[in-house]
Amino acid sequence: MGLPTIRSICCIGAGYVGGPTMAVIADRCPDVQVTVVDLSAERIAAWNGADLSRLPVYEPGLDAVVGRCRGRNLHFSTAVEETIAAADLVFISVNTPTKTKGLGAGQASDLKWVEASARTVAKAAQGHTIVVEKSTLPVRTAEVIQEILASAEGAKSFAVLSNPEFLAEGTAIADLEKPDRVLIGGQDPEAIEALAAIYGQWVAPQKILRTNLWSSELSKLTANAFLAQRISSINSIAAFCEATGANVREVARAIGADSRIGEKFLQAGPGFGGSCFQKDILNLVYLCRHYGLEEVAAYWEQVVRLNHWQQQRIARLVISKLFGTVSGKRIGVLGFAFKADTNDTRESPAIRICRDLLEEGAVLQIVDPKVSESQMARDLGQPAGAGEGSWQQVPEVQQAASGADALLLLTEWQQFAVIDWQQVAALMRQPAWLFDARAKADAAAARAAGLQVWSVGEG
């Protein structure tokens, strides 16, 4: 029997992963029809919107890819069951957040959306269907999916693969077009090769790795744990640099020059954010405990604890430098997204830091080029307002600085690297501070303009 040829793909979940990933597959595989489905009619409508600058996910380059393929072989739809029925291959790319209640609350991943997707596939699929885990999942989740699919009635068959996604937000299109590797885990060689043939249209063969299912699932959690661990490691050293007069950027350059360590992911900052690092480590911690590996669980848990401490430490430092109180004081917050070049605020360090400052009575003037006011209101748990303990969104750095005792740089947007400090400092109430939690601003220029400057990791 020859390889099953994939002509029609369905992706369940039109989110940060499903949307960009399928757009690139459609772009690179013009002979394959790709349909992304979602329960959220609002999200699908936004993907289908005429104005490509208002897609539900902001990623540099995404608008161009969607513009090329949409309506040709890339479609966005709410017709979940019909699309599954017509598909040779179904990606499950739904959310897997940390459970908020019940067994494992606060650590285990909530698999209810994955389970629901598997049940829908079992019901709606026709003939032979390859089902691919794209979501990040606990080890051995494929077993659960296989069991659900095995209960399907009628003449259908399935092969389950794991194909975790390694893209980072802000660079998703570049990561997808030129991945370091594509990982496919599975037991069914024909299904593995059919999926490999899709990626093979633009990814070099040696970059397509094949493993067993469990290694693939665990590799994804492990990659995120290692990446997050590097950030907590460098942030811990940043605090040590501040205490001793060393400079964390010099230390990072010195250790990064060692090819065994490498230079990437050594930027000290306000702590890692994003929807995945914390969730995936907590999931790893939960699974380690489940298998009785207490020391291993405690080891990884510390990465998350250090991250919380880093966020808390920055809020406390701001308060302490502003004479011990921020009550009624204006603070301009530069950046709210969890990193630059995304509109995503999930687990953004800005949320925790702003909440701490609001609780102390600060008046925050927040500027972010991509995050909406309604998103900030949801994240901060209160609408925009006025007076002590309030926040408002402002369009530019100038308004953030107006009457402010301090500017607090939290997201490394490029525009914050080129601030005219003479002009901005003149708008602030003196003595004024720049707290740069990303070491992104031109500290020398800010100092020359009369500001006092704290830069993360600089002793």
Of the candidate spans 97-105, 176-184, 264-272, 293-301, the one that interacts with ligand UGA by CB under 6 A turns out to be 264-272
**Which of ligand NAD, ligand UGA, none binds 93 (CB below 5-8 Å, type-dependent)?**
ligand NAD
- Select the span of 119-127, 165-173, 313-321, 382-390 touching ligand UGA (CB under 6 A): 165-173
Smallest separation, CB 290 to ligand UGA (Å):
21
Q: How far is the CB of 156 from ligand UGA (least distance, A)?
A: 31
Q: 3-class SS at 257?
A: coil
Positions that interact with ligand NAD (CB under 6 A): 12-18, 37-40, 43, 80, 93-96, 113, 116-117, 135-136, 165, 167, 169, 275-276
Residue closer to ligand NAD by CB (options 172, 425) is 172
* Cβ nearer to ligand UGA, comparing 169 with 217: 169
Find the shortest distance in angstroms from Cβ 202 to ligand NAD: 19
Indicate which of ligand NAD, ligand UGA, none lies near residue 14 (CB less than 5 to 8 Å, by partner kind): ligand NAD
- Label the pairing between strands 363-367 and 390-393: parallel
Residue 164 burial (C-beta neighbours within 10 Å; 0-12, 13-18, 19+): buried
Characterise 177 by phi-psi region: left (phi > 0), alpha (psi -120 to 50), beta (else).
alpha
Distance CA 130, CA 56 (A): 28
Which one of ligand NAD, ligand UGA, none is in contact with 239 (Cβ closer than 5 to 8 A by kind)? none
Judged by beta carbon, residue 175 or residue 301, the one nearer ligand UGA is 175
> Among residues 10, 276, 288, 354, which one is catalytic?
276
Cβ atoms 385, 392 nearer than 8 A: yes
Per CB under 6 A, which region of 21-29, 263-271, 283-291, 442-450 contacts ligand UGA?
A: 263-271
For ligand UGA, how many residues bind (rule: CB under 6 A)? 20
Instruction: Give CA separation, 161 vs 81, 196, 264, in Å.
Output: 20, 11, 30
Residues 135-154 that bind ligand UGA (CB under 6 A): 136
Identify the CA nearest to 187 among candidates 127, 135, 147, 146. 146
Cα angle value 356/358/362 (rounded, 5°): 120
For position 134 contacting ligand UGA by CB under 6 A, the verdict is: no
Q: Which does 138 bind (CB under 5 to 8 A by kind): ligand UGA, ligand NAD, none?
A: none
Specify whether 29 is catalytic: no
- Considering the complex, state which of residue 152 and residue 231 has its C-beta at the smaller distance from ligand UGA: 231
Query: Which residue in 421, 423, 412 sits closest to 453, CA to CA?
Result: 421
Using CB under 6 A as the binding rule, the residues of this chain from 405 to 434 that contact ligand UGA are: none
272 binding partner (options ligand NAD, ligand UGA, none; Cβ < 5 to 8 Å by kind): ligand UGA
> What does the alpha-carbon distance between residue 336 and residue 356 come to, in Å, rounded to a whole number?
14
User: Omega before 431 cis (within 30°)?
Assistant: yes
Residue 343's binding partner out of ligand NAD, ligand UGA, none, with CB under 5 to 8 Å set by partner kind? none
C-beta neighbour count of 157 within 10 angstroms: 12
The nearer residue to ligand UGA, 227 or 239, going by C-beta atoms, is 227
> Could you say which of 267, 311, 393, 455 contacts ligand UGA (CB under 6 A)?
267
List Cα–Cα distances, 179 to 21, 165, 172, 200, 443, in angstroms. 12, 10, 10, 12, 35
Sheet holding 330-334, edge to edge: 390-393, 363-367, 330-334, 406-409, 433-436, 452-455
Q: SS3 of 153, please?
A: coil
Of 186, 183, 182, residue with least CA distance to 212: 186
| Residue 240 within binding range of ligand UGA, rule CB under 6 A | no
Quote the CA–CA distance of 253 and 342 in Å, as a whole number. Answer: 26
Give the nearest distance from C-beta 303 to ligand NAD in angstroms. 17
Catalytic residues: 276
User: Where along the sequence are the contacts to ligand UGA (CB under 6 A)?
Assistant: 136, 165-169, 224, 227, 231, 265-267, 269, 272-274, 276-277, 338-339
